[in-house]
Amino acid sequence: MTSMPDGDSQSSVTDRKTVHVRIKGRVQGVWFRAWTEKTASKLGLDGWVRNRRDGDVEAVFSGPADAVDRMLEAAKDGPPLARVSALDVRETEGAAPAGFETRPDA
């Protein structure tokens, strides 16, 4: 009988990440939040998205690292009417609450 090395039992934890993102450009009034919620949910991510009064969209994506990376790559384009000029991505500690939601404006 063989057993897994202790490092492998941690892989699900170390392969997860959480990022806080500010998305800049023409990202409000173009269904960006709805697109983000749908896309993040399809990828199995936890987190949230909301409009900011300064015109940016803010989001937290949490889940498997490869899924978070795919979400960030998709967010560079966003929905068809969006024009993303920049993503400000910061990795954070911990995980977001389960599920993905659209939050009120900040």
- Please give the positions annotated as active site: 33, 51
- What DSSP string runs through the chain? -----HHHHTHHHHTEEEEEEEEEEE-SSSSHHHHHHHHHHHTT-EEEEEE-TTS-EEEEEEEEHHHHHHHHHHHTT-STT-EEEEEEEEEESS-PPSSEEEPPP-
